[in-house]
Amino acid sequence: MEKIILDPTNETPKVVLDKDGSLFEISGNSLPEDVNSFYTPILTWFDEYSTNPNSKTEVVFNFEYYNTSSSKMILKILEKFKEIHRKGFDVEIHWHYMDDDEDMIEAGEDYSEHIKVPFKFISHHRRSF
């Protein structure tokens, strides 16, 4: 499978989708102008991946901020992992958040309850300069 590697911008997250390297990460800010054109290739990639997934899939979500339209796309991505998990494959979502960001913690918990795949919550401290 072709890798997808997108560098982050102020509006779009860093995306690394690498089946061979077992590296799946979406991190940073997600508030693209056109959420569909940004996320459709990612959803399509995961559709293809789900036909022949790795035996273990660990996905890193490490958002600083995302808007409402992005949250719907995040849910669609997570639903792909629900399908993979339902087929009997090992799936784990790593949900990163700043330890004082209650909204991000809550969002991860909501996704976790909805998706019903293993979630690992990973707290980070804000860096002080």
Read off φ and ψ for residue 32, nearest 5 degrees.
-65, 150
In a domain, 97, yes or no: yes
Structural domain contains residue 54: no
Question: Could you tell me the pTM of the whole model?
Answer: 0.93
Q: Determine the structural domain holding residue 90 and report its residue range.
A: 59-129
Evaluate if residue 129 carries a pLDDT over 60.
Answer: no
- Would 84 be classed as within a structural domain? yes
Q: Specify if 100 maps to a domain.
A: yes
Give a yes or no: residue 109 inside a domain. Answer: yes
The CA distance from 75 to 101, in Å, is 19
Task: Tell me whether residue 35 is in a domain.
Answer: no
Q: Domains in the chain: how many in total?
A: 1
Q: What is the pLDDT of residues 57-109, one digit of tens each?
A: 999 999 999 999 999 999 999 999 999 999 999 999 999 999 999 999 999 99
pLDDT tens digit string along 38-60? 999 999 999 999 999 999 999 99
Is 115 a domain residue?
Answer: yes
Helix (H) or strand (E) holding 43: helix 35-51
Q: Is residue 71 part of a domain?
A: yes
How far apart are the C-alpha atoms of 91 and 37, rounded to whole Å? Answer: 26
